[in-house]
A and B are shown apart, each in its own frame.
Chain A
């Protein structure tokens, strides 16, 4: 409102003219004085009318009903969507409900794009109704008054922005019979039409450093799409003001520019897709709620493998696993055990082999089940997840140490392991012994990984549980295979040496690989917990030793003293379990892989850093590793920290990112999944202008240098 110049009044008489002049001036001044404050300081409450409306006229016990926060904005002013875009703030609603009432999530109508200069925001002009469902308690006395209130905080902007707050409430009556519809029923019907509908088209996305491509499976409906805009829920995902490229060739594709505020690439993209379709001459606008899953990084050749290759790879991996230092001692004992059974019937030997296999298969099935359950519960974990928990690592160290003690002869327990060396048939272990040896073999196998395991398990984890279980069972079968063959094909047993006192020496010798494994596990633990946790673990080892010795003493003494000793041994066992649990409480933030084993300029891996380096067109070498992954550590020592490799990196200006998965890290888990893996190690070389390549899990110096020089 402008204050116009005061018109000259021509009059006949000088004095009357002067008085009228004065009156005009005075009136104008007063009007101006009244108007100016309103101009200078508009109140938020003048710009936005906030009210709480309900669909029904009354409420009934346990019957959910819909309410809405209706915001009516003054012309040219707008409030914001749940993702406000480049600037602004989303409207917030805080409910105050009577006891027993609960409110669901706020549902937002599809927003509009609001452009201001080079920026873009998402919000509403005119009117917006944010709806939500309220659920009354199971018991609600009819006749009482129910008061629903909400605190609504919003930002309303035109050119300037004004934050506002409004408290709204709505009294409703509780009834026992039919709930009448309220006066706003038609308003709610309209509001529902403005909410995003479930999308009829499945969506996937692929992301590279600069763009995100959304692909919608529109089949033959794609031809009628004239325009499409994605409003993502994530504020930092895309460049909100950049045009979104639409392609409707075979499927419908939307190409979005990523935000300069490059956040990590998400595992799913949620948002609202607003589509304009040409249906029978009319242009119709739809809003769909979309959730797009990751189709895999653009251009990555290593996606996944089929089911049959996965099964075969898993079996091969299982066989190789027998040679790993974790498993080898157990396998050797079992083989030695077989030599003892030279006098047994072939059928009985076969049964033992089958019992052992059954033990292994049952344990692998259990492991697959636990992994599946943990992932279904939402935790982003991969194979090796059990090693990311210090308590599990400590427990494994204890079990393996105890087994070593058993082989050393400190104590004997009623399993097949201890009976080796005893040639009398009467002491031949029962089938259950073989079964539990199988279980034990699986337990000690879990810290180790074999080549091919990564790809097989990576495939398994992307599939449904029955498929995943099949792959895991194939892995278990591979692990059991050598012994199964030996027990089922009697001819081969003739090649095994005859039993004798040498077996005792061998047994004691085989304790040492187990002790070495326990030592390595304690080293892994030292990366995951502080000194107190380490003390707990080491004390656990001492307690195991003492408990084992006490248990052994108890066996040789009968009567009360023997029982007392057995009790002491039991107490030691409980103490060990408690210590394993306390270890968990002393976690340190991140596992720090010792710098000595790494190449000089390795930076910690984050998706953000990777994207930034790729955007600056540098080749990047990503090494995903963990302290409990022996293959990783061997590769680092032999292939990645040698001078020649370091020089090659420096000469080709390759950036080196190292991801430490010793403890849980969802970003690393997602990166692994993108390449079809579920466990470490993973070596990826990102090249300028070409697709990234995945290096094999067993590296050699020449292989690495070869790839770098061929960049």
Chain B
């Protein structure tokens, strides 16, 4: 190939690599309580682009989910997760369910399946984000499903970790102490979050590498 061809291909490759690197989430340090939450842009189950930066001014909840996981099912079967979503989205909280399972792994869903699951389960998240490339998961170091994050209207992490204090796959989630509900109440009333970070329990996020 001639020199011009070579030059344009190199340029294109370089541009492509840069785009790939920059187009994904901005991965800095791990999320820490009190620090700005990592920004991300992901596609939701209806094909729309959702980014965290656009949600400034509203409290955001991130819920990592996997419908095949017994720990997630514990919350959805008891309708506890749905009740939590309904309670807080009614108060203006943006609730984003995130599916980070890659194709072929437990929990993977495309847009159609995600919408069907939402309808079947009676869930009411603001949006379901499809993250099969696991960029959002890596940005947040999500370790399990369910893994919960509460982000304030100013964009900083108020709570991260387990959804409640009962780390088993059985038991009534409505009887457990729900850290997310508590954190959202404390954020709303301007009080400091009493238990800002805990270890998330559940099925491991199905990372590919």
Contact = CB atoms under 8 A, between A and B. Distances in A.
Interface stretch (A53-61, A117-125, A225-233, A441-449): A117-125
A159 B106 contact: yes
B33 A119 contact: no
B35 A119 contact: no
Contact of B138 (A117, A235, A261, A616): A117
Contacts, number: 82
Determine which residue in B192, B197, B200, B202 has the highest number of CB atoms from chain A within 10 A of its CB, and name it.
B197
B199 A236 contact: yes
A611 to B, nearest CB: 10
A200 to B, nearest CB: 32
B68 A160 contact: yes
B150 interface: no
B144 A87 contact: yes
Interface in B3-32: 30-32
A636 interface: no
Nearest to B206: A159
Nearest to B170: A163
B203 A118 contact: no
B209 A262 contact: no
B105 interface: yes
Given A89-B167, A160-B68, A160-B203, A119 B198 contact: no
Q: Could you tell me the dominant secondary structure of chain A's interface residues?
A: loop
B180 to A, nearest CB: 15
B161 A261 contact: yes
Given A87-B144, A159-B106, A119 B204 contact: yes
Residue from B68, B143, B203 having most chain A Cβ neighbours under 10 A = B143
B208 interface: yes
A347 to B, nearest CB: 67
Contacts of B201: 87, 89
A65 to B, nearest CB: 32
A542 interface: no
Given A157-B204, A160-B68, A161-B204, A118 B34 contact: no
Interface residues of B, number: 37
Interface in A251-304: 260-262
B69 A161 contact: yes
B143 A612 contact: no
A262 B32 CA distance: 9
B76 interface: no
Contacts of B138: 117-118
Contacts of A161: 69-70, 203-204
B141 interface: yes
Nearest to A155: B169
A87 B202 contact: yes
A160 B72 CA distance: 13
B143 A119 contact: yes
Interface string A127-169: 0000000000000000000000000000001011111000000
A116 interface: yes
Contacts of B143: 86-87, 119
A615 interface: yes
B30 A87 contact: no
Nearest to B209: A117
Nearest to B204: A87
Interface in A85-138: 86-89, 116-119, 121
Given A159-B106, A161-B69, A163-B169, A616 B34 contact: yes
B183 interface: no
B97 interface: no
Nearest to B141: A118
B40 interface: no
Interface in B76-128: 105-106
Nearest to A153: B168
A117 B68 contact: no
Contact of B204 (A121, A235, A262): A121
Contacts of B59: none
A161 B70 CA distance: 9
B197 A262 contact: yes
A223 to B, nearest CB: 34
B30 to A, nearest CB: 5
A116 B204 contact: yes
Contacts of B152: none
Contacts of A157: 203-204
10 shortest A-B CB distances, which residue pairs? A117-B207, A87-B204, A261-B197, A86-B143, A160-B106, A161-B203, A87-B144, A260-B30, A87-B143, A119-B143
28 contacts: A86-B143, A87-B143, A87-B144, A87-B204, A89-B168, A116-B204, A117-B137, A117-B209, A118-B141, A119-B204, A119-B207, A157-B203, A159-B204, A159-B206, A160-B68, A160-B206, A161-B203, A161-B204, A235-B199, A236-B199, A260-B32, A260-B160, A261-B161, A261-B197, A261-B198, A612-B33, A612-B196, A615-B34
Given A117-B205, A239-B30, 17 more contacts: A87-B143, A87-B201, A87-B204, A116-B205, A117-B208, A119-B143, A119-B205, A159-B106, A159-B204, A160-B69, A160-B105, A161-B203, A260-B33, A261-B160, A261-B161, A612-B196, A615-B34
